[in-house]
């Protein structure tokens, strides 16, 4: 979509037209990292349109939001969203951030 035909950013276009999973309204504005993670997990597990496993879909949506929001996120919001990543890993019984890298390095 050329920039000259629209003032919308590509990320807004993707958000509006994507065939990705549906999220609950205001999911990224929730008060706790665990609440955000639980909502993302639920959406990912119930989605019939995702193309990968629920964990990867949920983490991708969270990363997409963090990357698009960029510098407009306050330090508290950024910390809460990063905490949501850790909470997602726990909810999906995945190793903590950096654990796989540490295991590879010690082998």
What pLDDT does residue 1 have?
46
The domain tally of the chain equals: 1
* Residue 105 domain-assigned (yes or no): no
The answer as to whether 87 is a domain residue is yes
For position 19, what pLDDT does the model report?
A: 55
Rounded to whole angstroms, the maximal C-alpha distance in the chain is 53
* Spatial CA neighbour of 92 closest among 58, 62, 65: 58
| Residue from 76, 95, 72 nearest 85 by CA | 95
Residue 78 lies in a domain: yes
- Residue 96, pLDDT > 50, answer yes
pLDDT band at 39 (very low <50, low <70, confident <90, very high): very high
The pTM is what? 0.73
Q: Which domain holds residue 34?
A: 24-94
Separation of alpha carbons 58 and 63, rounded Å: 9
pLDDT of residue 27: 83
In a domain, residue 101? The reply is no
The answer to whether residue 6 sits within a structural domain is no
Q: Is residue 55 part of a domain?
A: yes
CB 59 within 8 A of CB 41: no
Reply yes or no on whether the pLDDT at 54 is more than 60.
yes
Closest CA to 46 of 19, 22, 27: 22
* Residue 65 counted as domain residue: yes
């Amino acid at each position: 979509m050329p920039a000259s035909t629209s003032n919308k950013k590509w990320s807004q276009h993707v958000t509006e037209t994507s065939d990705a999973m549906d999220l609950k309204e205001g999911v990224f504005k929730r008060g706790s990292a665990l609440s955000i993670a639980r909502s993302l997990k639920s959406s990912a597990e119930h989605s019939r349109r995702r193309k990968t496993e629920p964990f990867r879909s949920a983490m991708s949506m969270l990363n997409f939001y963090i990357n698009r929001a960029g510098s407009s996120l306050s330090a508290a919001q950024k910390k809460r969203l990063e905490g949501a990543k850790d909470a997602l890993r726990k909810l999906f019984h995945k190793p903590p951030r950096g654990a796989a890298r540490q295991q590879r390095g010690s082998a």
